[in-house]
Structure 1
Amino acid sequence: MRPLISKIVLLTLVFFSGCQPAANEAKQQETNQGPRLVVVVNYPLQFIVDSLSGPEFQILNPVPPDENPETWLPGDATIQTIQQADLIVTNGADFADWVKKLSLPRSKVLRTSLALKDALITVPDFEVHSHGSGGAHSHAGTVAFFWLDPRLMARQAEAIAERLIQLDPESEKTIRANLEKLNASLKPLNQQLDQIQAEYPGLNWYSRRPVYQYLAKRCDWTMHHLHWKSISKPNQEDWKQLQSLQEQQKLSLMLCESEPDEEVITRLKDQGISVFALNPLTVAPANGDYVSNMQQQLTHLQMFLNQQKKSPPSEK
């Protein structure tokens, strides 16, 4: 009987000694894996992922701070890094040229616009241009600046949170708690926009291109985009087009992505138009974050609209 017991003990030791290296190897591989790499295409998505995730994730926004994330294209080394990422969070609606031009593994790409299908705004004449002597024509397109309505940003965040949880199920509790915190941080912005909508509904604005449609819809406004290539240096055709539009519509407000030159501001004033610069925050601000910068901008917007109400351009 004792020899049989000895054999059983020996076999048991051999079995466990054989399993131990395999277990150690699996644990070592998990340790070597490190944080999951998440690539984002613009600052608003970076802000969301940063807000949701912990040290289990490494966030990479490959766009240099002095480049336009809509038109920037990566070099070969950056392309390799992007393609090796665990998750690539894109905006959708054709935001970021490099997303359209690179061959990205579909299983790793999260297109956040898919979570907003019912809210997407398509502009019939999104882009107007001409080819040779064929004359000018237009193409329809979907406006991509969803985050200018914080309610839509919250929906983007929900979609990202679910994908991060799939990537690292052990982080689910932390990610869901962070999602609640993010939604709470967006609440003051929604309150500001509710107040703006209640006090200044029905406004009509010019803009250089389709950027502010989601913000406008939230505030019950209408946007009229001009298709200007530049707000700092409009050409003569741009000014003629604006003058013609003003004769028909007589709008008094314009939203710009950055503050125009003083000369441009003066010429716009001559046509009865006051300008407000609202940065869409596609790149990281020099100070603060998305929430603090949007709060500040919306506060300034309220002050601007209050001033226009007291002293409209026609009375200046």
Structure 2
Amino acid sequence: MKNILMAAALLLGLCGAAVAQTQTQSQRIAVVAAENFYADVVKQLGGDRVQVTSILNNPDEDPHLFEASPKTARALQHAALVVYNGADYDPWMDKLLAVSKGEKRTTIVVAQLVGKKSGDNPHLWYDPATMPVVAKAVSRYLVEADPAHKSDYDARLATFLASMKTIDNRVAVLNSHYKGVPVTATEPVFGYMADAIGFEMRNQRFQLAAMNETEPSAADIAAFEKDLRERRVHVLIYNSQATEALTKRMLKLSQEWRVPSVSVTETLPAGKTYQQWMTFQLDALSGALQGWQR
């Protein structure tokens, strides 16, 4: 009899734990982020009180070739919070949200937060000023949705904002050494960060054509090649997720003429936080520029 009672107690305990776990999971705030770097920021701010799904995850694929699926629409339908870039970077999100009606769903469009619109460079996450603004907006939502844990959300926001100073410090050092240095790029992915550093960015018409998937003019291609051949630029920044024929051609020329190249991506690599990702790329850029003398 004693053994039966103990077994029953154990079973009830296990059932209770399972119910508690299910309740804990159901109490987490469901968030969908179109891009995985925004998802990472939400996770840092919400911890185990958020359940985050990201749509664009693979740093080896061109995000411009993404096609939404029914699975994506279902995730949005159950989301309490949706975060996406805007500025025509992820236009499929507007379509998905229109057909996936969610009750009491809050949407954060990053472009609207930072005052960008269609036609502007959409790679907003490379602007050092963007993520603190996004983090504050997400944290405000979390506090409103779950006021009982305000102190935890506030602490996480403070930690996140403090961690962003690492990026700011690296940008400041690069600016002090390389402001005005001419560089070039295959696409304007790194454009906002390049502006923050103070580079003289060349071949911007070529970059816009590549981003918009149109053919650059013969004159723009020739100007790009001349910059590499005559070493008028001190580094080539290229988007390793979009390696079309022209990108490969410019990379080959940079190798032939000994112009250092630095890879950047549009998607957060697996196993890294947003801060680690930005820091890694800034360090790679700093290393590529080491041999340059003012």
TM-score, normalised via structure 2 length: 0.74
8 Å CA contact retained: 2:254, 2:261: no
8 Å CA contact retained: 1:40, 1:88: yes
Q: Residue 163 of structure 2 aligns with which residue?
A: 185
Q: Decide which structure has the larger Cα Rg and report it.
A: 1
8 Å CA contact retained: 2:185, 2:238: yes
8 Å CA contact retained: 1:35, 1:55: yes
**C-alpha deviation, 1:263, in angstroms:** 6.2
Partners of 1:268 and 1:32 lie apart in 2 by 51
**C-alpha deviation, 1:248, in angstroms:** 8.8
Q: Residue 131 of structure 1 aligns with which residue?
A: none
Higher relative contact order (CA 8 A, sep 6+): 2
Most deviating of 242-251 and 93-102? 242-251
SS in 1 for 2:188: coil
Letter in 2 for 1:255: I
- Write the deviation string for residues 226-274 of structure 1: whole angstroms up to 9, x where unpaired: 14549xxx99x7776322456699741321122978864342355x572
- Write the deviation string for residues 71-95 of structure 1: whole angstroms up to 9, x where unpaired: 4222223312212211111112122
- Write the deviation string for residues 21-72 of structure 1: whole angstroms up to 9, x where unpaired: xxxxxxxxx8784322100011220111011003221000133535444442
SS in 2 for 1:165: helix
Alignment identity in percent? 21
Q: Residue 182 of structure 2 aligns with which residue?
A: 204
Q: Residue 163 of structure 1 aligns with which residue?
A: 141
1:141–1:222 CA distance, 2 compared to 1 (3 A)? farther
1:246–1:301 CA distance, 2 compared to 1 (3 A)? same
8 Å CA contact retained: 2:33, 2:55: yes
TM-score, normalised via structure 1 length: 0.69
8 Å CA contact retained: 1:71, 1:96: no
Partners of 2:139 and 2:76 lie apart in 1 by 20
Gaps of 5+ in 2: 1-22
Partners of 1:85 and 1:101 lie apart in 2 by 16
Q: Residue 10 of structure 1 aligns with which residue?
A: none
Partners of 1:69 and 1:266 lie apart in 2 by 24
Tell me the matched-pair count. 256
Match of 1:299 among 264, 280, 283: 283
Partners of 1:64 and 1:269 lie apart in 2 by 30
Match of 1:46 among 39, 46, 54: 39
